[in-house]
């Protein structure tokens, strides 16, 4: 059975409605003309994600998400490693709620898996538009800071 699983490494669990998350993730994947495979979302600390960034990508800086793509054809599979510390900090910086920032980052990772890039300014703009589009479909979008 294809699914989305959530794991925690080096952090405490967050209050997350697994069914709600799966519903929105599947909508994004299906709306982009792909099908759900196995996706793992691993919530972790800054230091945990920094080690992954250094070991696998040769980058020595903090980030909010690293996406590992295991997709085959139209079947979307991968691992999304997400720093909860970056989510918290960015929520304050961008004056949004923790949940909105969390979903934005999850959608960002899923958009990478369905084929979107964010290396150029134009790609980043398209990615932001897509993140906002999918956020608008959630109850989380109605939260206020």
Instruction: Point out which residues pair with 6 in neighbouring strands.
Output: 41
Tell me, what's the pLDDT at 137?
A: 84
Look up residue 123 and give its two tokens.
Answer: 């790609």
| Alpha carbon of residue 93 to chain centroid | 18
Whether residue 65 lies inside any domain: the answer is yes
Whether residue 78 lies inside any domain: the answer is yes
Tell me, what's the pLDDT at 1?
A: 54
Tell me, what's the pLDDT at 138?
A: 85
Got the DSSP string for the chain? --EEEEEEESS------HHHHHHHHHHHHHHTT-EEEEEEEEEE-HHHHHHHHHHHH---S--SEEEEE--BTTEEEEEEEEEHHHHHHHHHHTT--HHHHHHHHHHHHHHHHTT---SSHHHHHHHHHHHHHHHHTSGGGG---
List the pLDDT tens digit at each of the 145 positions of the chain: 579 999 999 998 888 888 999 999 999 999 999 999 999 999 999 999 999 999 999 999 999 999 999 999 999 999 999 999 999 999 999 999 999 999 999 999 999 999 999 999 999 999 999 999 999 988 776 766 6
User: What domain count does the chain have?
Assistant: 1
Whether residue 145 lies inside any domain: the answer is no
Q: Of 45, 139, 48, which is closest to residue 99 (Cα–Cα)?
A: 139
Whether residue 17 lies inside any domain: the answer is yes
Tell me, what's the pLDDT at 65?
A: 98
Decide if 39 contacts 77 (C-beta within 8 A). Answer: yes
Whether residue 144 lies inside any domain: the answer is no
| Alpha carbon of residue 111 to chain centroid | 8
Tell me, what's the pLDDT at 139?
A: 79
What CATH number corresponds to the domain at position 41?
A: 3.40.390.30
Look up residue 114 and give its two tokens.
Answer: 């369905």
Whether residue 42 lies inside any domain: the answer is yes
For residue 74, the enclosing domain spans: 3-139
Whether residue 85 lies inside any domain: the answer is yes
């Amino acid at each position: 059975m294809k699914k989305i699983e959530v794991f925690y490494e080096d952090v405490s669990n967050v209050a997350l409605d697994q069914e709600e998350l799966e519903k929105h993730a599947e909508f994004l994947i299906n709306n982009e003309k792909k099908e759900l495979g196995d996706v793992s979302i691993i919530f972790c600390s800054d230091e945990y994600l920094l080690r992954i960034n250094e070991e696998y990508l040769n980058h020595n800086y903090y980030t909010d998400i690293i996406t590992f793509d295991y997709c085959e054809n139209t079947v979307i599979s991968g691992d999304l490693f997400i720093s909860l510390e970056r989510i918290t900090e960015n929520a304050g910086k961008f004056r949004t709620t923790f949940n909105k920032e969390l979903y934005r980052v999850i959608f960002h990772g899923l958009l990478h898996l369905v084929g979107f890039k964010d290396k150029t300014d134009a790609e980043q703009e398209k990615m932001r538009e897509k993140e906002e589009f999918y956020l608008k479909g959630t109850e989380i979008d109605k939260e206020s800071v």
